[in-house]
Structures are given as structure tokens and as C-alpha cells.
Amino acid sequence: MFIASIMGLGSFLGNADFGISAWMSEALAPVFSGISPLMFVLIMVFIVNLLTNFCSNSVALSVVYAIALPLCMGVYDGSVNPTLLSILITSAAQNGWATAPASPTAAVAYASGWGDSGVILRWGLLIMLLQMGISMLFGFAVNGLIV
């Protein structure tokens, strides 16, 4: 049921007939028009990282895809590789471990009593930032070799 509802949400947000994705892209285009392509990618990766630590990875991925890809194809057409953006966003959605609702494994870690919740949160966020940096460096290095 959960996966079906997430697929429904993704379809709803991304369906061109409803125009939600186009509306969000149009509404956000002025905000992102003055932001560099690198900063745009960094912002999208950071947003999905934060969302995935407070809600389901699938929800975070569906919501950010619906916003990021239309902007990538519109405002950043030709300057941001949509495949690279998709891979970085998908990679970032796997970082759900800093808070208890992030994933079942994070919930078990919080409930086990073996760790202090503040320590788990700090280390989870630090690892999230490290993963962001490594994936961005690797992604842009590979993208430079491919393009």
C-alpha cells in the first residue's frame, strides 16, 4: 500500500496533464534563474537529504524529482546534465539515518538505548554532509569525463 501510494504521488506530481510540475517549475524559475548550476544541484541534493531524514525516502525522492527535473530541463537546460542530477538526487535519498523516522534501521538505533539521540543525530547529519560532498565531487568528475 505504501509503495502504491508513493507511486501515485509521483505520478500525480509528474503528470503533465495535471500541470503541477510545470506550475512549480514556473513558480520557482525566477528564484533559481540567478543561481549557478552548481549551486542549484547542491540545493536539490541538500533538500532531498533533509527530507529523507524526516520522511520516507520515496516521498522525498518523488517531491524533489517533481521540482528539480523540470527546472533542470527549463532554467538549467544545457548547463545541468539531467542524468547526473537524477543520480545525485537518488543517491542523496539513501541518507536516511540521522533521525528516528528516517528509516527502520534508524528507528531501531534510536530505540535500542545504546546511543544518545543527540549523538546519533549529529553523526547522522555529519555523515549526510560527507556523503553529499563525496557524491558531488565524484558525480561532477565522472560527468566531466563523459561529456
Tens of pLDDT, residues 80-100: 899 999 999 999 988 888 888
C-alpha cell at 30: 525566477
Can you tell me the distance from the alpha carbon of 144 to that of 129, in angstroms, rounded to the nearest whole number?
A: 22
Q: How confident is the prediction for the chain on average, in pLDDT?
A: 81
Report which DSSP code applies to 112.
Answer: T
In angstroms, the Cα distances linking 121 to 90, 93, 125 are: 22, 17, 6
- pTM of the predicted structure, to 2 decimals: 0.79
Tens of pLDDT, residues 34-71: 888 889 999 999 999 998 888 878 778 888 888 888 88
